[in-house]
Amino acid sequence: MGIAKVTSGQRTQALTASTLAFTMCFAVWTIFSIIGVKIKAELGLSDTQFGILVATPILTGSLSRLFLGIWTDQYGGRIVFVIQMLATAGAAYLLTLASTYPMLIVAALGVGLAGGSFAVGVAYVSKWYPKERQGTALGIFGMGNVGAAVTNFGAPFLMIAMGGAWQGVAKVYAVVLVITAILFWLFTKDDPVLKERKEKGIKHASFSEQMKPLANLQVWRFSLYYFFVFGAYVALALWLPRYYVGAYGLELKTAGMLAACYALPGSVFRAFGGWLSDVWGARTVMYITFIACIICTFFLSYPATEYRVAGITGPIEFTMAIPLEIFVLLTIVLGFFMSLGKAAVYKHIPVYYPGHVGSVGGIVGLIGGLGGFILPITFGIMNDLIGVWTSCFMLLTVITAIALVWMHVSIKLMEQRETEEPSTLRHLPELESLHGRK
């Protein structure tokens, strides 16, 4: 059964099931953003130790994306997705048995397998859609990032319902993930590319063949884009609850809700970003994303400043920082543009590497995920060393500026080469899709 014979209903069913499964996986992947704050208080952890704890699942999720993406190309997303969810559920349940910081770190490595679901879903979903619709489809699938908002908003209330025990939250997540895996298996089918390959007796590409595109510098440039639009998104989704508690003195429940205000637009508008990438072109969307994000992170970088002025009865000391309302609004805008960028990055991959979506998507997702691992730790270290809460946004401003400059220079060099090469190369349908529909 080739892709041309796939019905609209089959595509919708595969996309819906994959998006719901990814949402649940993402919720589990970011569970430490809430229970980690409770654990920090119980064990008396420093900000650096807290950053390592919340980032550890991100490390496993990032590293697993490469081989999970390749396995999906080889064996199909249906079976790989189910196995990955069941393994993650087991790790989430074992997490409740940990009582020391080292034990929690080990258990968190297992929970991190949830993050590998993205590479599985991208490779699986892309095979159900033609190139001109892949941006929108992958954008809808990527809305599963809303799982971070689900955790930031719902986990504090769930913890209260469990009598304040973070272990209860982990157990509920484990059970729900098992149910999700069973439902996914029952309501999905093998993708049409895999099915056609089985019918014709075609062997899947070897691991070395799948890895060949990784020698292209372009793949690593896409990875840097994703390091920010996804890695920084995950990092802030994990860090913001702690940020609100430490910088603004809010309660965890309130901090979680405000962090969800950032995570929500960073997820739900990803489908819109995919549609824009199909219509305007992925490059245009990336330019808009980087410029808007630089503006947001620049203003968010404004540090709290202590002032001392003369008063009638003596000197008056006060601290001026970004008002909470403005801060929250800027994070919402930042999350919105990050969601557009996440969709635009993955619009490129099926266009340039149609036969290696799993491996290329895996490495891009791996590097992006590593951003979610490295950045929270860096935020914690910077906060412990210099004591400036907004230093995390200063760092993000620099990273985004580097990505924008590299992208612009690369595009200009590419356009220069295109003018020097035969004109036929400039009219390939695959490349036109990066500039929008004609």
**Which tens digits make up the pLDDT trace of 96-112?**
898 899 999 999 999 99
Confidence of residue 119 (pLDDT cuts 50, 70, 90): confident
For residues 398 and 377, give the distance between their C-alpha atoms in angstroms, rounded to a whole number: 17
**pLDDT band, residue 304 (cuts 50/70/90):** low
Q: Which of 128-137, 404-413, 425-434 has the lowest mean pLDDT?
A: 425-434
In contact, 29 and 110? CB cutoff 8 Å: no
Whole-number Cα distances in Å, 258 to 160, 241, 309, 318 = 18, 8, 33, 25
Task: Return mean pLDDT, the chain.
Answer: 83
Q: Smallest Cα–Cα separation from 239: which of 28, 43, 52? A: 52
Local structure of 198: helix, strand or coil: helix
User: Cα–Cα distance between 232 and 297 in angstroms, integer?
Assistant: 11
Question: Has this prediction a pTM greater than 0.85?
Answer: no
Task: Using CB atoms within 10 Å of the CB of residue 313, give its burial: 0 to 12 exposed, 13 to 18 middle, 19+ buried.
Answer: exposed
| pLDDT higher than threshold 80 for residue 211 | no
Q: Tell me what pLDDT residue 425 has.
A: 47
DSSP 5: G
Query: Where are the domains positioned within the chain?
Result: 9-432
Q: How confident is the model over 49-80, as pLDDT tens digits?
A: 888 888 889 888 888 888 888 888 888 889 99
Residue in this structure with the two tokens 């998104």, named with its chain if needed: 233
Cβ neighbours around 200 below 10 Å, total: 7
Architecture in CATH of 9-432: Up-down Bundle (1.20)
* Pairwise CA distance, residues 72 & 224, whole Å: 23
Give, to the nearest 10 degrees, the angle between helix 252-263 and helix 233-248. Answer: 150
pLDDT at 438: 41
Sign of CA dihedral 296, 28, 270, 217: positive
> For residue 292, what is the DSSP state?
H
Structure tokens at 33: 């953003």
